[in-house]
Amino acid sequence: MFERQDISEMAGYVPGAQPDGPVVAKLNTNENPFPPAPAVIAALRVIEADALRRYPDPMARGFRQAAAALHGVTPEHVIATNGGDELLRLAFTTFLEPGGVVGIAEPGYSLYPVLAAIHGCRLCSVPLAADWAPAAGIADAWNAAGARLGLLVNPQAPSGRLDPVAVLAEVARGFRGVLLVDEAYVDFVDPVLGHDSLSLVRTLPNVLLLRTMSKGYSLAGLRFAYGVGAPDLIAPMLTKTKDSYNVDAVSQRLAETALRHRDHAAAGWALVRDERARLARELGARGFDCLASQTNFLLTTVPGLAAGGAQALYRGLSARGVFVRWFDQERLRDRLRITIGTPAENDALLSAIDELMRPA
């Protein structure tokens, strides 16, 4: 009864199910199927009492130095945040006037409209092109609406498409606001593509990259992410709009350790890419149409022979302890989003699909 009227009327973000019953394969929230680096677990085991008694470093200097060294920038280009969602909130708070306009592309991350509603912002939503690329003229559309913040996911969610750096640069150069590129899944991009979005930060003053430890580094439970951008973008978030102590001492230490043992994570990324290719082949052999993906998930169209379509298959899989994601949204209702799991989890998914699609 005391909440703001607009909060009372809005719909909140709906996360993927965290099942509490029997789970055969949890492939619905894009978690990494492989464990974090042993060095991370070792660092966790030796956390001393003083690390809990005292406030953490409010600037997360150790982590920022490690991230800067990894990406070839300075610590002034980096901010540590409590998950990628905090960086998104900071972007809204820092770069948008009250009642301002934020530009998005749809379909996209369903938290974006929720954050816009919370901050009292208006949306300028531009549909993705038929091939899931940002629509031609998206920057012009955002500019015409008066947007001062634009959000693009790359590799794109939920399609898995990777847009070249040149495409992002063109959008950023044409846009009169801050372009936040949400790179939650960039660690899973095939290295042979030579994708290097950090060049955007080095050459453009209005690009902010979102990176997370949740996906590639198997630390979703830690809630740790970071932004990389020009110091003029980072400074107001770092010194004015973030919480006083926004990332705790334990998460800072573990996240820094994970970055310094990146080779272990990279071995897991290669395994995910191998399983991604295998699962796409197996689903294709069963009549599923999988979009090319550079993430740790596949977006696949369910074949017409599946009785009841994608939603029915989603429910049937859930009843068998195999959890994937179905979205009641335009362009997605006939599709499932499937996280890449371990070989055993992926086999369990395929077996359950075979069972459900077997002729009566």
Q: Which pTM does this prediction carry?
A: 0.94
Among candidates 255, 245, 223, 240, which has minimal Cα distance to 52? 245
Domain ranges, ordered by start, for the chain: 5-35+263-357, 47-261
Identify the three-state secondary structure at position 352. Answer: helix
Backbone angles phi, psi at 335, to 5 degrees: -130, 160
* pLDDT, position 308: 75
Dist CA 351 CA 348 (whole Å): 5
Instruction: Look up the CATH architecture of domain 5-35+263-357.
Output: Alpha-Beta Complex (3.90)
* pLDDT, position 12: 81
* pLDDT, position 107: 94
Residues whose CB falls within 8 Å of the CB of residue 232, separated by 6 or more in sequence, listed in order: 205
Alpha helices in the chain (DSSP H): 5-9, 38-45, 49-53, 61-71, 83-95, 111-118, 138-145, 165-174, 198-203, 231-236, 249-260, 262-285, 309-319, 343-357
* pLDDT, position 358: 84
Q: Are 182 and 86 in contact (CB under 8 A)?
A: no
Question: What letter represents residue 83's amino acid?
Answer: G
* pLDDT, position 10: 80
Dist CA 27 CA 40 (whole Å): 24
Q: Are 163 and 156 in contact (CB under 8 A)?
A: yes
Instruction: Look up the CATH architecture of domain 47-261.
Output: 3-Layer(aba) Sandwich (3.40)
Which two structure tokens, joined as six digits, stand for 2? Answer: 């005391």
Cα distances (angstroms) measured from residue 171 to each of 36, 73, 134, 140, 168: 35, 22, 9, 9, 5
Residues whose CB falls within 8 Å of the CB of residue 237, separated by 6 or more in sequence, listed in order: 79, 90, 91, 94, 227
Q: How many CB atoms lie within 10 A of CB 294?
A: 21
Q: Please give the chain's pLDDT, 360 residues, in tens.
A: 788 888 888 888 777 778 887 788 999 999 999 999 999 999 999 999 999 999 999 999 999 999 999 999 999 999 999 999 999 999 999 999 999 999 999 999 999 999 999 999 999 999 999 999 999 999 999 999 999 999 999 999 999 999 999 999 999 999 999 999 999 999 999 999 999 999 999 999 999 999 999 999 999 999 999 999 999 999 999 999 999 999 999 999 999 999 999 999 999 999 999 999 999 999 999 999 999 999 999 999 999 756 679 999 999 999 999 999 999 988 999 999 999 999 999 999 999 999 998 876
